[in-house]
Chain A
Amino acid sequence: MTTGQVIEESDMNQQFVSNDQITDIESYRKLVKNFLDLRRYKSALYWSEKVAVLSNNYPKDVYQIAQCMYMLKEYNRASHVIKKSGIETKNLLCLTLLVECLFASNDYQEALNLLNSSEIEDLNTSLHDETEIDPTISQVNDNLRNDMLASLYLLKAKILESMDKRTLAIDCYIQALHKSVYLTEALDALLQHEVLMSWEEKDLIHLIMPNKQLCNDADLKILKHLYDQKLKKYYSTSNQAVHPEKTPNNANILNTINEKIKAGETITDSRRSIGLSTSTTIKSATKAFPTPGAQSVMSPANKILFDLKNTSASAFSIQASLTRVSMLNNSRTLNTSKITINTIKNSEDALTADNALKLLENSVDIMVAKAEEFFYNCEYKKCLKIIEEILDRDPYHKRSLFIQIGCLMELKDSNALFYTAHKLVDFNPDDAISWYAVGSYYILINKTEQGRRYLSKAASLDRLFGPAWLSYGHSFAKEKEHDQAMAAYFKATQLMRGCHLPLLYIGVECGLTKNYEMAEKFFYQAMALAPLDVFVLHELGVIKYESELFEDAEEIFRSTLNMVTEMCKKNQEPISERWEPLLNNLGHCCRKNKKLAESLSFHTQALSLKPMNAQTYTSIGFVLALMGRLSEAVEAFHKSLALKRDDVIASTILKTVLEDLVEEMVENDDIVKEFKSDLMPVEATIDASEELKENTDANRKLKFDENEDLTEMSLDCD
């Protein structure tokens, strides 16, 4: 203390000497600011304390002290300084800093209490009045105040989220965005965890967009362009086909699907309109079954579905906050922040909006969005190319790293994934994504045990990390542990409310456990989120096939194929290899529906998409056998067996077909023809019926294999 004084004195002496014995507090303030800018926080703290003493705890100086302490990560100290001075009740900036300190030191409850006790909106008006007392801080105009309010709401949302009050948190995020459109953190928080349904995302963007009178066109254009890029990628592709009823050939089934989806939506809608009361009744209803008997009756899948319905209660609050925002929207005049454009006077700096958009194409976020779009369209190579470009500029860009992991998983490039994971762990060992990468790597090299360990580590580091749970589920699904897989997927549904993928996977798992009805329900749920997503439709078709509704299945597959081909036409590219299962499934359906020629053509198409596939050859052989083109069938089976030697189905059918063929050969040998010809038709029919019997048996196996295929397929789109 004494030394401090000594220094102070000497310093004062200096001041004294240089400035004609007038101590200029302002110059000290400048010093502090400079030190802060230079990140010399300790020195800054030292001098700011001196300034505060000199100015007799002028609020601005106290704030500066706290700021320095915050920068030095001494959060408790900082909060103590602010609390001691009591300025947080008067000043918005100080309040924000205090809350931030409390949040950083994990005092969530206290922070929340503070926020709830002080009237934030009032505070800022009072701040307005205190211009004279606090000239520096009160200089904030409306604009700045809104930004401050927005960041305070963001803080509140973060705190709520940390306290697991997610719906309230979402509400706060929306309010924050409402205060300032430019607060991208809030938007990211809303979007990145797939909390919102896709239509809600659209509504949100629509609502937070500033009015035209407040903002000039160019700015609006840029803002809209940038924010639209952040929305869900797979929605846009499926969106194009929202009205497939218009195409004539698939009217029937799609109508019913649409009705079901609508029904599902109306249920949620009604819940929304009734509001919290219904959801609570439902919740209490679930609580009314705590008896073990009732629980054991309820299958795990059933339970998940049931719980899922309950979670839609959260839709209420989101919808409510959105509507609230929209209502405010009408009344609001100047209460959102905006960029003051008039600062740009220099004509050289001025850009036309189109030019700006063009230049922004090079912005990292836009590039990531493009990469994501490729990813959702399963164009992993193209996606990876963009990602590599981004990582070249910014090697630690988390979002791109995340996409990169996904791509490498899909491309099964274990070496690159290994390297990425290692680098990630070295640089941010406390980040969920690093351990997610490690876990993914282990799962890729089929060490599921370790893989799961690291994934759960990732999930524990970031409790909102849905993808880790999805991967966790996949690892179980790979080992045919359907129940556990479903549990993991369900966890993911809770975290990723607006994402249809977990629902899709649960549906697939249900299908694998032969629980077709349940699977269908999940698919409808998934479709409610992503209307007519081709992957979901495809899976639905599989379920229809499994439950032996072949006509329906065929129609669904056909409409899926239509959508796919339309999409491909639009992008002017040939149908991708990944739709080979779809074509094969369509082939199976056609075969079941006795459209053998069509079936054959579908299988051949599938073969041209993915050549040398043993299963496709088997299917072709099967169809040919049913068509009576036995020798061709035998050839196809041979090809299949050459590719996959121990294929039971192919070899069993081959055997019967060969026997039939021998019969045929005997009969077709010129000499024997005449005296056997009358017998032939009878025998042939018997053969056919026998074959059919056999076939159904073999077919069951076939279907099973298909399913394998399909799970693979559905896993693809994660």
Chain B
Amino acid sequence: MSEQLKFNLPQIKTDLIRGIKECNLRGLIHSSKWLSELNFSLQIPNFDANTVDAGSYSGITQDEFDNYFIAKSYFDTREYDRAAYFVRNCVSSVPRFLYFYSMYMAKEKKRLDNSPDNSTLNGSAQLKDLSELMSVLNEEYNHKNLDGYGLFLYGIILKKLDLTKMAITVLLESVHLVPINWSAWLELSPLIQDTEHLRGLSLPKHWIKSFFIGHTFIEIFVVNEAGISLFEEIQNAGFEKSVYATSQIAIAYHNNRDVDRAIQMFQQIQSVDPFRLENMDMYSNLLFVREQKTEMAHLAHKAVEINKYRPETCCVIGNYYSIRGEHQKAILYFQRALKLNPKYLSAWTLMGHEFMELKNTNAAIQSYRQAVEVNRRDFRAWYGLGQAYEIIKMPVYALYYYKTATQLRPYDSRMLHALGEIYEKLDKKSNALKCYQKACNVGDIEGFAMLKLGNLYEKMGDQENAVSSYKNYVNVERSTSEKASLITAYLYLANYYAEKKNDDATHYAHKVLELDETKQEAKAILKRISSARAKPENEEDDITEAIMELEPEPDILQTETSGEDMDMSLA
């Protein structure tokens, strides 16, 4: 990806137009939508779409036209079984695909209709249906009867049945045959474990490959930056108007916790395409982190106006209720989102968060688990699982989950911090130490790691390190927000220096005096210091004076922000 991206734009345009036609023929509406979006964004002056030979109705033999048309119209009216019935004997590629696809859609539709409660992702009946379809397709596959689209369908089913390896090979074959089918790429993307894996794949040489790689980069959180730069390149190479590219960049910023820029990107998208709902839930997450309640309310109302029954809309509303503290209502909306699309990842995770808020740990665990089922790379769900298990006092499990979360986001101090705490609970101090240290190194988001480090050193009796940690902690401006912990730090420092007979003791003791609860203690320390000093010099008055001086100083009470909302800001 190092060399400059160069696209042959007229060629792409031709490809796109053909692709739209082919996908439309086969009822692959999502692919066709994506391609159309891309096509729209690609304006080439003096390009006459009529010159493109879209090969109308290729892949349908003369005598199967009538069957195809009736089936396609039934398919469009969502009467899938009926559609399948009318093309059951067709042999040419398009009606054949339509047959399998209708069967698949019929099963999917039935499953959605039959699941009034979305407690599980896979009913056994559904499983049986899918396995049947799989064995049919498997036979076709073995006889090499499947074209690129058929392979795509086979790949989806394999993926649904969790036969990942097979799914990857089949989907790869599919994209080699029909690279224009974006859905196949999209299905392939979550199956890729890491960059190594991505590099190992043999992908077809096609312009769409860049989109796929960018998408996958962003999907594998770790290489966000690479994804951003790739999409920026794509934009520069001619797709500057592509909403998709912009939204991917926005998602990448969101992943990088670059909230302001992400929000800015989303606003940009909104102005270009005001009725777009995709990724709006992510936008609302960002607003949640920034606590822009009005913005959220506005977004929610707008989304409802556009389409009430979209999972994205439901998530936006759920988030809105969540920030208002109406967690029950929020859960209701997340559930609705899941009813609309049981594989909607963020709804599962967000619902888990809501259950955590309501202290319903078991339900939260269920939700998080489903989220992990849907996408193993969702570190928030893993983190949530860790938290939940920590609460129900199963530290071993919690450790495992935190560990997984850390593997997914190695440079996120929150995970490391949580991991350290668990290690501490399990009495693995050295491991905990390592975690805290790493958390401090990667940039402590909450600012707790240093304090924890100090605490740990204190427990281990390593005064020197404890002091340096506490000092570090105290010196960081941010940590002033957390008064109580700040005081503990000061207290420890005061005590320490009092022992050492250092003048700094007084300084820290004065700091401790700021809080009412610890005032007595502070006084005691000061007394001790003064008495220690009094012996050689007798400066008692100074100290009392000092106390008097400090006494009326008003407490600077700061509003707590970050601590409480920790779970949420993860979102």
Q: Beyond A574-B142, A659-B396, A661-B400, is A666–B373 a contact (Cβ under 8 Å)?
A: no
Q: Beyond A639-B162, A643-B122, is A611–B400 a contact (Cβ under 8 Å)?
A: no
A54 at the interface (CB under 8 A from B): no
Interface window among A173-181, A346-354, A667-675? A667-675
**Across the interface, which residues of B come within 8 angstroms of A659, CB to CB?**
396
- How far does the alpha carbon of A643 sit from the alpha carbon of B373 in the complex, in Å? 10
- How far does the alpha carbon of A638 sit from the alpha carbon of B161 in the complex, in Å? 15
B127–A672 touching, CB < 8 Å: no
**Across the interface, which residues of B come within 8 angstroms of A573, CB to CB?**
139
B44 at the interface (CB under 8 A from A): no
A658–B162 touching, CB < 8 Å: no
**Across the interface, which residues of A come within 8 angstroms of B122, CB to CB?**
612, 643
Other-chain contact of B397, A574, A643, A658, A669 (Cβ < 8 Å): A658
- How far does the alpha carbon of A638 sit from the alpha carbon of B430 in the complex, in Å? 29
Q: Beyond A574-B139, A642-B369, is A662–B400 a contact (Cβ under 8 Å)?
A: yes
B24 at the interface (CB under 8 A from A): no
CB proximity of B440 to chain A, nearest CB, Å: 15
Other-chain contact of A610, B131, B139, B370, B431 (Cβ < 8 Å): B131
Q: How large is the interface on A (under 10, 10 to 19, 20 to 34, 35 or more residues)?
A: 20 to 34
- How far does the alpha carbon of A286 sit from the alpha carbon of B165 in the complex, in Å? 62
B546 at the interface (CB under 8 A from A): no
B134 at the interface (CB under 8 A from A): yes
B431–A669 touching, CB < 8 Å: yes
A634–B373 touching, CB < 8 Å: no
A214 at the interface (CB under 8 A from B): no
**Across the interface, which residues of A come within 8 angstroms of B369, CB to CB?**
638, 642
- How far does the alpha carbon of A403 sit from the alpha carbon of B423 in the complex, in Å? 64
Other-chain contact of B431, A608, A639, A658, A671 (Cβ < 8 Å): A671
B135 at the interface (CB under 8 A from A): yes
B142–A662 touching, CB < 8 Å: no
A671–B430 touching, CB < 8 Å: yes
B400–A666 touching, CB < 8 Å: no
**Across the interface, which residues of B come within 8 angstroms of A666, CB to CB?**
423, 428, 431
**Across the interface, which residues of B come within 8 angstroms of A661, CB to CB?**
400
CB proximity of A631 to chain B, nearest CB, Å: 9
**Across the interface, which residues of A come within 8 angstroms of B163, CB to CB?**
607-608, 611
Chain B residues 467 to 486 lying within 8 A of chain A, measured CB to CB, are none
Interface of A is mostly: helix
- How far does the alpha carbon of A661 sit from the alpha carbon of B372 in the complex, in Å? 20
A662–B138 touching, CB < 8 Å: no
Q: Beyond A577-B135, A612-B161, is A662–B434 a contact (Cβ under 8 Å)?
A: no
**Across the interface, which residues of B come within 8 angstroms of A665, CB to CB?**
399, 403
Scan B493-537; emit 1 where CB is below 8 A from any A CB, else 0: 000000000000000000000000000000000000000000000
- How far does the alpha carbon of A382 sit from the alpha carbon of B426 in the complex, in Å? 59
- How far does the alpha carbon of A671 sit from the alpha carbon of B162 in the complex, in Å? 37
Scan A339-350; emit 1 where CB is below 8 A from any B CB, else 0: 000000000000
**Across the interface, which residues of A come within 8 angstroms of B430, CB to CB?**
671-672
Q: Beyond A611-B161, A669-B431, A672-B431, is A634–B400 a contact (Cβ under 8 Å)?
A: yes
**Total A-B residue contacts, Cβ distance less than 8 Å:** 55
- How far does the alpha carbon of A231 sit from the alpha carbon of B426 in the complex, in Å? 70
B162–A662 touching, CB < 8 Å: no
Chain A residues 668 to 707 lying within 8 A of chain B, measured CB to CB, are 669-672
Scan A619-655; emit 1 where CB is below 8 A from any B CB, else 0: 0000000000000001000110011000000000001
CB proximity of A616 to chain B, nearest CB, Å: 11
- How far does the alpha carbon of A212 sit from the alpha carbon of B419 in the complex, in Å? 89
CB proximity of B484 to chain A, nearest CB, Å: 30
CB proximity of B405 to chain A, nearest CB, Å: 13
B208 at the interface (CB under 8 A from A): no
CB proximity of A399 to chain B, nearest CB, Å: 27
Scan B67-108; emit 1 where CB is below 8 A from any A CB, else 0: 000000000000000000000000000000000000000000
A612–B138 touching, CB < 8 Å: no
B131–A662 touching, CB < 8 Å: no
**Across the interface, which residues of A come within 8 angstroms of B396, CB to CB?**
655, 658-659, 662
Chain A residue with Cβ nearest B426: A662
CB proximity of A2 to chain B, nearest CB, Å: 71
Scan A474-502; emit 1 where CB is below 8 A from any B CB, else 0: 00000000000000000000000000000
**Across the interface, which residues of B come within 8 angstroms of A669, CB to CB?**
431, 434
Scan B152-169; emit 1 where CB is below 8 A from any A CB, else 0: 000000000111001000
- How far does the alpha carbon of A670 sit from the alpha carbon of B410 in the complex, in Å? 14
- How far does the alpha carbon of A659 sit from the alpha carbon of B426 in the complex, in Å? 11
**Across the interface, which residues of B come within 8 angstroms of A643, CB to CB?**
122
**Across the interface, which residues of B come within 8 angstroms of A672, CB to CB?**
428, 430-431, 434
- How far does the alpha carbon of A661 sit from the alpha carbon of B407 in the complex, in Å? 15
B139–A611 touching, CB < 8 Å: no
Chain B residue with Cβ nearest A608: B163
Chain A residues 551 to 580 lying within 8 A of chain B, measured CB to CB, are 573-574, 577
Chain A residues 140 to 171 lying within 8 A of chain B, measured CB to CB, are none
- How far does the alpha carbon of A669 sit from the alpha carbon of B433 in the complex, in Å? 11
Other-chain contact of A577, B131, B370, B373, B434 (Cβ < 8 Å): B131
- How far does the alpha carbon of A48 sit from the alpha carbon of B135 in the complex, in Å? 67
Scan B422-452; emit 1 where CB is below 8 A from any A CB, else 0: 0100101011011000000000000000000
Q: Give the residue among A612, A643, A655 with the most B Cβ atoms within 10 A.
A: A612
B431–A662 touching, CB < 8 Å: no
- How far does the alpha carbon of A634 sit from the alpha carbon of B166 in the complex, in Å? 22
CB proximity of A374 to chain B, nearest CB, Å: 15
Q: Give the residue among A634, A639, A665 with the most B Cβ atoms within 10 A.
A: A665
Chain A residue with Cβ nearest B161: A611
CB proximity of A618 to chain B, nearest CB, Å: 14
Q: Give the residue among A574, A610, A611, A634 with the most B Cβ atoms within 10 A.
A: A611
CB proximity of A495 to chain B, nearest CB, Å: 34
A670–B434 touching, CB < 8 Å: yes
- How far does the alpha carbon of A665 sit from the alpha carbon of B401 in the complex, in Å? 12
B139–A662 touching, CB < 8 Å: no
**Across the interface, which residues of A come within 8 angstroms of B134, CB to CB?**
611
Q: Beyond A611-B163, A662-B426, is A671–B434 a contact (Cβ under 8 Å)?
A: yes
Other-chain contact of A611, B162, B370, B397, B433 (Cβ < 8 Å): B162
- How far does the alpha carbon of A642 sit from the alpha carbon of B122 in the complex, in Å? 10
- How far does the alpha carbon of A577 sit from the alpha carbon of B400 in the complex, in Å? 35
- How far does the alpha carbon of A469 sit from the alpha carbon of B264 in the complex, in Å? 75
**Across the interface, which residues of A come within 8 angstroms of B373, CB to CB?**
642
- How far does the alpha carbon of A577 sit from the alpha carbon of B370 in the complex, in Å? 27
Other-chain contact of B131, A611, A634, A655, A670 (Cβ < 8 Å): A611
CB proximity of A580 to chain B, nearest CB, Å: 10
Chain B residues 350 to 371 lying within 8 A of chain A, measured CB to CB, are 369-370
CB proximity of A638 to chain B, nearest CB, Å: 8
**Across the interface, which residues of B come within 8 angstroms of A639, CB to CB?**
162
- How far does the alpha carbon of A662 sit from the alpha carbon of B434 in the complex, in Å? 16
Q: A611-B127, A612-B161, A642-B369 are in contact. List 10 more A-B contacts (CB 8 A).
A: A574-B139, A607-B163, A611-B163, A612-B122, A639-B162, A642-B370, A662-B396, A671-B430, A671-B431, A671-B434
Interface residues of B (CB under 8 A from A): 122, 127, 131, 134-135, 138-139, 142, 161-163, 166, 369-370, 372-373, 396-397, 399-400, 403, 423, 426, 428, 430-431, 433-434
* 21 pairs of residues in contact across A and B, judged by CB atoms under 8 Å: A573-B139, A574-B138, A574-B139, A574-B142, A577-B135, A608-B163, A610-B131, A612-B122, A612-B161, A634-B400, A638-B369, A642-B369, A642-B373, A643-B122, A655-B396, A662-B399, A666-B423, A666-B428, A666-B431, A672-B431, A672-B434
Per CB-CB distance, the 9 closest pairs between chain A and chain B, nearest first, are: A611-B161, A671-B434, A669-B431, A658-B396, A666-B428, A662-B396, A672-B430, A612-B127, A662-B399
